[in-house]
Amino acid sequence: MTTRIPALLRSPNTAIALALAITAVMLIPFIATVNDFLANIAQLLGANTLLLQTLAPLESQLVGATFRALSPARAVSMGPFLTITLGQHPTSVYIDWNCTGWQSWLILTITLLVGLHGSYTRRSKLATAAAAMAGTFVVNIARITTVILVAIYIGTEQALLYHTYGGIVTLGAWLIVFWLIAYRYLLRKPEPKAGVSGR
């Protein structure tokens, strides 16, 4: 009995996307392992201050807005601090620079440098990079939101565990889905130039 492989799985682009996504997933535990080393380098370069003053407050506001939009919670953000009140039990959250998801941006940059290397149109490369950055930002907001939900409804220890390992799984799943979509729908080869006939 023969098994038919869907055309999508036989596509060379799909094979490249899967290889790239698998490589990205393999990078995740490596970066998680050397996280302290990378964090020390980031601090030496002053990236921690930049992230704490820019990205952390923005994520705090957006996470608060997410809670207000999707639940009856009262959410108040001030800089990297966020207070969420469900019923009579307020939960205070501090989004540290090391919790902003900067590791995901590092991994994304590596995959973009590899994945966009090829004879694709400049417009499709820019569109792919923009979609990747927007999607990664949304994934980070969702990750922080779910960590807080785990802390509220299950417990702080479970939230810390999810913060460490759930984020890795989430990022890996996002990169796999993104690159499959990118090679299937976003990246385009240049149109072949028409020949010029002489007289």
Domain ranges of the chain: 9-186
Given a contact cutoff of 8 angstroms between Cβ atoms, the answer to whether 175 and 27 are in contact is no
Name residue 194's amino acid.
A
pLDDT in tens, 75-85: 999 999 999 99
pLDDT in tens, 122-133: 999 999 999 999
CA angle 115, 125, 143 (to 5 degrees): 65
| φ/ψ of residue 103, rounded to 5 | -65, -35
Distances in whole angstroms, Cα of residue 186 to Cα of each of 19, 116, 129, 152: 17, 11, 10, 39
pTM here? 0.81
**pLDDT digits (tens), the chain, 199 positions:** 444 445 444 556 666 666 766 666 676 666 666 677 778 888 888 889 999 999 999 999 999 999 999 988 899 999 999 999 987 788 999 999 989 998 889 889 988 998 898 889 999 999 999 999 999 999 999 999 999 999 988 998 999 888 887 887 888 889 888 988 998 899 998 887 765 554 4
Q: Residue 167 and residue 164: Cα distance in Å, rounded?
A: 6
**Residue 142: which of 103, 171, 184 has the closest Cα?**
171
